[in-house]
Amino acid sequence: MSKTTDDTVHQTEDGDVPLAEGVDHQVAMVMDLNKCIGCQTCTIACKTNWTESGGREYMYWNNVETKPGAGYPRDWEEMGGGWDEEGQSRTPGELPEQEDYGRAWDFNHEAIMYEGSDEPLRPMENADWGPNWDEDEGAGEYPNSYYFYLPRICNHCTHPSCVEACPRSAIYKREEDGIVLVDQDRCRGYRYCVEGCPYKKVFYNAQTKTSEKCIFCYPRIEGEGPEGEVRPPSCAEDCPPQLRHVGFLDDEDGPIHKLVNEYEVALRLHPEYRTEPNVYYIPPFAPPQTSESGETVDADRIPRNYLEELFGPEVESALNTITREREKAERGEESELMEILSTVNNDDQYRLEVFDDDG
């Protein structure tokens, strides 16, 4: 059943942007980690849209984790999944325990407030891990500690190992936009996809006995709802610093194409998993280190090799490009890259209707 990358990938007309075979266009997202403040508005926006009830309570289709850190679910980077070096066969993956996700704790509000309990307000079950348990911790020692925030959704991969993992063929990529979905009618909850996804972005719903995942808010981008308005995914639209661009990877006039393919400053998370994610990240900067005598010294605070572990060897050149372009802005020169990353002109922040005429 396995297919090679070569089998499954085709190029757009001018041969520039590889898409999965059979997929006309591919939605994509670029997240600028230099604008992520860990506020989790995306997390809550996603949750209030999709995962409030019905067995989804524990799920965070969108989460934001502190890096370095165990992440969500705990130690997901250690759990395998994805493809081997040839991209031919899947790498075995582990199934996270419920404890690795944490539970959607209920609390004893009513007992305390209205029933005279003298207990403190607490989760009514053991609470020893949760989706943001190691928030702000990071690594290193004061004053040269470091941390940053990493928002994560399903990567809607071009070469998705979850699709391959499903023995019922209940996971698929949509033809029109490459969104990866779990067919809720067909899925029987075997959880091979949960194991197989190296990003651990498929979740098992114990109530419906199906697996569920980020749907890239397709009802929003399709313009469903009473107002019939095309809207970007809520994690993007509701983000206060507006750190996400949403559009199509193969829209060669759009900012995502520029960031990914022209400036090459937007990188895949763990490219070595070889699922070819369609969510890209602008890697993070940090202020330089401080010496013992309290002087600022010219040394990277976030170890470069750590960033390479996350984003691959291209991180170096991406950071250099951004630095160079920022220096231009400091000198008062024009920088297209800086303009794309800011919201001063944000007409193209979300380009979702560009292929509407394709029929």
Partner 1 sequence: MTDTTDTPNESTRDGSGAARRDFLKGVGAAAAVGATGLGSAQDLTEMTALDVVDDPIGNYPYRDWEDLYREEWDWDDKARSTHSVNCTGSCSWQVYTRNGQVWREEQAGDYPRFDESLPDPNPRGCQKGACFTDYVNADQRVTHPLRRTGERGEGKWERISWDEALTEIAEEVIDTVEDEEYDAISGFTPIPAMSPVSFASGSRLVNLLGGVSHSFYDWYSDLPPGQPITWGTQTDNAESADWYNADYIIAWGSNINVTRIPDAKYFLEAGYDGAKRVGIFTDYSQTAIHCDEWIGPEPGSDTALALGMARTIVDEGLYDEEHLKEQTDMPLLVREDTGKFLRASEVSGLDVDADRPEKVFVMQDADGTLRTAPGSLGERDGQNDHSVSIELDFDPELAVERTVDTTDGDVETRSVWLNLRDELSEYTPEQVNEITGVGERTHQKIAREFADVDRAKIIHGKGVNDWYHNDLGNRAIQLLVTLTGNLGRQGTGLDHYVGQEKIWTFNGWKNLSFPTGSVRGVPTTLWTYYHAGIMENTDPDTAAKIRESIDKGWMPLYPSERDDGSRPDPRLMFVWRGNYFNQAKGNIALEEELWPKLDLVVDINFRMDSTALNSDIVLPTASHYEKHDLSVTDMHTYVHPFTPAVEPLGESKTDWQIFRELAAKIQELAAERGTEPVDDRKFDRQIDLQSIHDDYVRDWLDEEPGALAEDKAAAEFILDNSEETNPEGTDEQLTFDDIDEQPRRLLEAGDHWSSDIEEGEAYAPWKDYVQDKNPWPTFTGRQQYYIDHDWFLELDEQLPTHKEAPVLQEKSEYPLGYNTPHSRWAIHSTWRDDSKMLRLQRGEPTVYLNPEDAEERGIEDGDTVRVYNDLDSVEVQAKIYPSGEPGTVRHFFSWERFQYPDRNNFNSLVPMYMKPTQLVQYPEDTGEHLHFFPNYWGPTGVNSDVRIEVEKVEAEAASIVSDSLGASEAGSASLRSGSESRGALGRISDLLGGDD
* Residue 294 beta carbon to partner 1: minimum distance, rounded to whole angstroms: 4
Residue with smaller CB distance to partner 1, 313 or 327: 327
Residue with smaller CB distance to partner 1, 54 or 313: 54
User: Are 310 and 139 a contacting pair, CB within 8 Å?
Assistant: no
Angle between helices 304-311 and 315-330 in degrees, nearest 10: 110
Residue with smaller CB distance to partner 1, 106 or 313: 106
* Residue 186 beta carbon to partner 1: minimum distance, rounded to whole angstroms: 7
3-class secondary structure, 172: strand
3-class secondary structure, 93: strand
Q: Is 329 left (phi over 0), alpha (psi -120 to 50) or beta?
A: alpha
CA distance linking residue 268 with residue 274, whole number of Å? 10
User: Are 86 and 4 a contacting pair, CB within 8 Å?
Assistant: yes
Cis peptide bond upstream of 277, omega within 30: no
CB-CB neighbours of 320 under 10 Å? 11
Residue with smaller CB distance to partner 1, 173 or 257: 173
* Residue 195 beta carbon to partner 1: minimum distance, rounded to whole angstroms: 17
* Residue 141 beta carbon to partner 1: minimum distance, rounded to whole angstroms: 6
* Residue 272 beta carbon to partner 1: minimum distance, rounded to whole angstroms: 21
CA distance linking residue 215 with residue 349, whole number of Å? 20
CA distance linking residue 71 with residue 226, whole number of Å? 37
Residue with smaller CB distance to partner 1, 247 or 313: 247
Residue with smaller CB distance to partner 1, 186 or 304: 186
Pairing of strands 148-152, 63-67: antiparallel
Residue with smaller CB distance to partner 1, 218 or 306: 218
* Residue 320 beta carbon to partner 1: minimum distance, rounded to whole angstroms: 16
Sheet with 279-282: strands ordered across:
244-248, 27-32, 279-282, 267-268
* Residue 55 beta carbon to partner 1: minimum distance, rounded to whole angstroms: 7
